[in-house]
Structure 1
Amino acid sequence: MGRRAIIFHGTGGNPDVCWYPWLAERLAARGYVVERPHHPGINVEPIATFLPTVLNRHTFDEDTVLVGHSGGAALLLALLEHVDVTVAQAILVAGYSTRPNTTEEPVLQQEYDWPAIRSHVRDIYFVNSREDPYGCDDRQGRAMFERLGGTQIVRDDGHFGDHNQPYERFDLLDRLIP
């Protein structure tokens, strides 16, 4: 089948904003089959009913690389807990596992089976910023890192792309994915 990468946008986003198209192009040039799905239900629909939709819309195998941004990164936690294979890599950009601010977060589960998540991904990265305006910051990354291991990368880069933060390229991600 070959290597597959799936890039999940954040809350209220879509596959054509930020660095998603740029990264997809970079990975495709290296032979990846890249999916940039539009999931408007991310962080809108409760995870219990939304997750089966995501699991049914995509194929996951040992060569799959998952990249999630913000709400899309939080989605990866539930996805990794419930997927039935061990994927190659997951990169959670501005991810979080508990409410990062006062808004409702339907993408979060009440609790996580951390050992199950860890067993379903070979290589996991948490990329967070110390100055994230939504609270998806390095403390959130540290909390996931402490439960799952992997690699935590801390930057000073806001939300790594937002309506008021153009972020057309993300060279770090290009380097992290083999």
Structure 2
Amino acid sequence: MAKNAIIFHGTGGNPDVAWYPWLDRRLTARGYRVARPYYPGINVEPIADFLPMVLAAHAFDAETVLVGHSAGAALLLALLEHLDAPVSQAILVAGYATRPNESDEPVLQASYDWDRIRSRVDDICFINSVHDPYGCDAAQGRMMFDHLGGTQIVRDEGHFGDYDQVYDSFELVDRLIA
């Protein structure tokens, strides 16, 4: 079975910003088939409408690694809950499971089946900052960790890439992927 990686961008983003192209190149060099889909509807369309499109657009199996940043990480929670079979790994960067600020967050579900999510991923990792300008902070990472286990990594590196935060590479994420 070939190893697959799917990198999901955040709200208002696209697959060609921040560290996503860099990680794509690194994983491709290691033999992964990498997808960096463009989802302009992420965190714009309600998750109940958006999720079926994402599920239908990709193949998920025991050799799949999912990486999500910000709203892309929040999307991974819903995605994992609705998969038919487990994936190898999920890395949620600046992720969140509850509203991190005053903005509407249509990417979030009203609730999560934490046991089902846990059963759909062999290894899960949360990377959050102590201080995140959008509230996708270490407390959000801790809440998800408390529900799901895995590994929580706390840094103090803002949002790990944003319109005003250059973050062209992300060695930590590359090292975490087997």
TM-score by length of 2: 1.00
SS of aligned partner of 1:80: helix
State whether structure 2 residue 97 is matched by structure 1 residue 97: yes
Q: Which residue pairs with 2:149 in the alignment?
A: 149
Give the CA deviation at 1:165.
0.1
Q: Which residue pairs with 2:37 in the alignment?
A: 37
Q: Which amino acid in the other structure matches residue 97 of structure 2?
A: S
Give the CA deviation at 1:53.
0.3
Give the CA deviation at 1:125.
0.1
Q: Which residue pairs with 1:63 in the alignment?
A: 63
SS of aligned partner of 1:43: coil
Query: Residues 10-36 of structure 1: CA distance to partner in whole angstroms, max 9, x if unpaired?
Result: 000000000000000000000000000
Q: Which residue pairs with 1:137 in the alignment?
A: 137
SS of aligned partner of 1:109: coil
TM-score by length of 1: 1.00
Cα distance in structure 2, aligned partners of 1:112 and 1:55? 17
How many residues are aligned here? 178
Tell me how large the CA RMSD over aligned residues is. 0.4
Q: Which residue pairs with 2:73 in the alignment?
A: 73
Give the CA deviation at 1:172.
0.2
Cα distance in structure 2, aligned partners of 1:113 and 1:146? 13
Q: Which residue pairs with 1:169 in the alignment?
A: 169
State whether structure 2 residue 29 is matched by structure 1 residue 23: no
Q: Which amino acid in the other structure matches residue 137 of structure 2?
A: D
Q: Which residue pairs with 2:113 in the alignment?
A: 113
Q: Which residue pairs with 1:48 in the alignment?
A: 48
Cα distance in structure 2, aligned partners of 1:86 and 1:25? 25
Cα distance in structure 1, aligned partners of 2:48 and 2:155? 32
Q: After the TM superposition, which segments of 4 or more aligned residues of structure 1 sit over 3 Å from their partners?
A: none
Cα distance in structure 2, aligned partners of 1:29 and 1:123? 22
Cα distance in structure 2, aligned partners of 1:126 and 1:41? 23
Give the CA deviation at 1:117.
0.2
Cα distance in structure 1, aligned partners of 2:85 and 2:28? 23
Q: Which amino acid in the other structure matches residue 74 of structure 1?
A: A
Q: What are the ranges of 5 or more consecutive residues in structure 1 without an aligned counterpart?
A: none
Percent identity of equivalent pairs:
71
Q: What are the ranges of 5 or more consecutive residues in structure 2 without an aligned counterpart?
A: none
SS of aligned partner of 2:102: coil
